[in-house]
């Protein structure tokens, strides 16, 4: 072997050794990096599916609370009880109920119709933008559902969210309210990233709800097009996923999440290239750069991977920011489920929960507290004369005034309509309850300015003491409600103890 050949052999051996070293270093560095990024990307996709399910469940909860609030108006419930007992005719019930239901419907976004039924499930009255376009007979559905209906024009209505709530009077069910909402409030939850899809499946796998990005409308179809139905996949727990292949050969990662308390499931899928593709391409490019620069071995490998690491850090930061925004949206939706949208006070559901907790505390430390049922006097004439917007502003001012006249540990919330509840902290004696009630009457009677007019309403307050007048949520509510009506019967603007 001459010197030239020997030199060539040394160079080839040296180059081969360096290249093999570069390959080894690249493999050692890239393998755990790819595995780690793969796991993080899959976890991020699972977190997105979990967040979607939580957000949709919270939206369902919010609509169910709206139905309960509509059904909670005591004066309408008493009229329905009178109709049940034969004391008034259906015409009298309809004439009394219709304007009040229309008042309740005015502040509900995306509401398409309210149907009121008697206890036997017979429809009595319906109102709303789509009331006249719906079929003449719509059976009562006590479970939350999504349905479409044929229209007179021969087309099918958009999917409507059906939410029912019982109407009770003196502890007995006297009827039901069925509220039909459009799905526009859910649109933001269904507009997912490109190359992905989000849909709702009913538990029996008979129908599927999707959002058509092209038309901007929700669509209800049979469950057949859904991957979860085709593959007979059962609902997966948090963090679980399954993989499938579309008809065109595209591979996807799918997640099927339950909605506790509802007969619906959320199905989310995204193309695997969408989840992993960009990151893997960046890593492959970096490994190729590493091989090209393998003469610098580990130092150049590290330097070539630095852009990827920066990209990973940026992507991790973006994912963390996105998850934080999702959590903020979830907290906002949960707050809307517990607080009245108009006044910002706790709503009926939150008040009943607080009342139950107050009873448990009082039972445990053998203390007493008061439940005050506050009903505004002369509110309807103001609402009729100046309009709903003025009435809403008046309710906001009343809510602020009530919050300013109770003690720090007392709770005030909106029970529904122009009714409020106050749950006091433990009382030394009933005189303390009298003082708070008189403050409420005083602030409610102070004039309001509406369109340069001085308007005055008032309040009647019914007070029930735990445990003297009841030891359960229902007993205290009934006792305070009855006391409030005695106060109204005595001339309004007064306090009556149960």
Q: pLDDT tens across 266-305, in order?
A: 988 777 665 555 555 666 666 676 666 666 665 665 566 5
Instruction: Give CA–CA dist 298/27, Å, rounded.
Output: 12
The answer to whether residue 133 is domain-embedded is yes
Do residues 93 and 83 make contact, with C-beta atoms less than 8 angstroms apart? yes
Single out the residue of 126, 122, 124, 91 nearest to residue 105, CA to CA.
Answer: 126
Residue 450 has pLDDT above 90, yes or no: no
List, for residues 127-174, the tens digit of each pLDDT value: 999 999 999 999 999 899 999 998 877 788 999 999 999 999 999 999
Choose the most confident range, by mean pLDDT, from 103-107, 327-331, 359-363, 490-494.
Answer: 359-363
Specify the CATH number for the domain of residue 88.
Answer: 3.30.450.220
Taking the C-alpha atoms of residue 182 and residue 171, their distance in angstroms, rounded to an integer, is: 32
Q: Is residue 112 part of a domain?
A: yes
Q: Grade residue 492 by pLDDT with cuts at 50, 70 and 90.
A: confident
Q: What is the mean pLDDT of residues 446-472?
A: 92
- 211 part of a folded domain: no
Q: CA-to-CA distance for 126 and 131, rounded, in angstroms?
A: 6
397 located within any domain: yes
Using 50, 70 and 90 to split pLDDT, how confident is the model at 196? confident
Q: What percent of the chain has pLDDT over 70?
A: 75
Q: Does residue 55 lie within any of the structural domains?
A: no
Sheet holding 419-423, edge to edge: 411-416, 419-423, 369-377, 458-466, 495-497
Q: Does some domain include residue 315?
A: no
Domain membership of residue 274 (yes or no) is no
Q: In CATH, what number is assigned to the domain containing residue 475?
A: 3.30.70.270
Last residue of a domain, one of 184, 203, 238: 184
- Supply the pLDDT for residue 488: 92
Domain-ending residue, one of 155, 184, 213: 184
Least confidently predicted of 57-71, 211-225, 273-287, 350-364: 273-287
Q: What is the pTM of this model?
A: 0.56
Most confident of 14-23, 45-54, 295-304: 45-54
Answer whether residue 275 is part of any domain. Answer: no
Our measurement of the distance from residue 347's CA atom to the centroid of its chain's CA atoms, rounded to an integer in Å, reads 14
Question: Count of domains in the chain?
Answer: 2
Last residue in a domain, options 132, 165, 184: 184
| pLDDT per residue as tens digits for the range 73-100 | 989 999 999 999 999 999 999 999 999 9
Instruction: Give the model's confidence band at 214: pLDDT under 50 very low, under 70 low, under 90 confident, else very high.
Output: confident
What mean pLDDT is reported for the chain? 84
Residues 395-411 pLDDT 10s: 999 999 999 989 989 99
In whole angstroms, what separates CA 465 from the centre of its chain?
34
Residue 167: give the domain boundaries. Answer: 72-184
Question: What's the pLDDT band for 205 if we cut at 50, 70, 90?
Answer: confident
């Amino acid at each position: 072997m001459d010197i030239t050949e020997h030199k060539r052999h040394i160079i080839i051996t040296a180059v081969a050794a360096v290249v093999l070293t570069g390959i080894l270093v690249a493999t050692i560095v890239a393998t755990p990096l790819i595995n780690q990024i793969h796991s993080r990307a899959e976890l991020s996709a699972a977190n997105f599916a979990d967040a979607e399910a939580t957000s949709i469940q919270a939206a369902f909860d919010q609509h169910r609370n709206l139905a309960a609030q509509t059904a909670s108006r005591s004066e309408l419930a008493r009229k329905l009880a009178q109709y049940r007992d034969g004391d008034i005719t259906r015409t009298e019930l309809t004439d009394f109920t219709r304007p009040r239901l229309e008042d309740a419907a005015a502040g509900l976004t995306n509401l398409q119709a309210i149907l009121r039924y008697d206890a036997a499930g017979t429809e009595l009255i319906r109102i709303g933008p789509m009331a006249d376009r719906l079929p003449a007979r719509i059976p009562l559905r006590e479970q939350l559902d999504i349905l479409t209906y044929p229209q007179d024009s021969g087309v099918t209505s958009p999917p409507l969210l059906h939410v029912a709530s019982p109407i009770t009077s003196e502890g007995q069910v006297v009827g039901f309210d069925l509220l039909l909402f459009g799905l526009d409030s859910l649109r933001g939850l269904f507009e997912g990233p490109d190359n992905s899809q989000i849909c709702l499946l009913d538990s029996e796998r008979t129908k599927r709800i999707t959002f058509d990005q092209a038309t901007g409308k929700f669509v209800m179809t049979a469950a057949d097009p859904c991957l979860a139905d085709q593959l007979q996949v059962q609902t997966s727990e948090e963090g679980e996923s399954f993989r499938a292949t579309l008809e065109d050969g595209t591979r996807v990662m799918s997640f099927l999440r339950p909605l506790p308390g509802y007969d619906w499931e959320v199905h989310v899928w995204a193309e695997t290239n969408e989840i992993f593709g960009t990151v893997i391409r960046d890593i492959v490019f970096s490994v190729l750069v590493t091989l090209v620069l393998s003469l610098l071995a580990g130092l150049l490998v590290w330097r070539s991977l630095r852009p990827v690491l920066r990209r990973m850090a940026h992507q991790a930061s973006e994912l963390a920011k996105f998850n934080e925004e999702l959590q903020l949206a979830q907290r906002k939706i949960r707050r809307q489920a517990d607080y009245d949208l108009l006044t910002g006070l706790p709503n009926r559901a939150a008040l009943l929960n607080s009342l139950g907790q107050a009873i448990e505390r009082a039972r445990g430390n053998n203390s007493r507290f008061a439940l005050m049922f506050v009903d505004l006097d002369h509110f309807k004439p103001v609402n009729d004369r100046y309009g709903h917007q003025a009435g809403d502003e008046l309710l906001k001012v009343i809510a602020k005034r009530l919050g300013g006249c109770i003690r720090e540990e007392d709770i005030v919330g909106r029970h529904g309509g122009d009714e409020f509840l106050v749950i006091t902290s433990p009382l030394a004696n009933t005189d303390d309850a009298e003082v708070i009630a008189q403050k409420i009457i005083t602030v409610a009677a102070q004039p309001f300015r509406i369109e340069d007019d001085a308007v005055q309403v008032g309040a009647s307050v019914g007070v029930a003491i735990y445990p003297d007048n009841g030891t359960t949520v229902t007993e205290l509510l009934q006792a305070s409600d009855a006391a409030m009506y005695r106060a109204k019967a005595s001339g309004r603007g007064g306090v009556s103890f149960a």
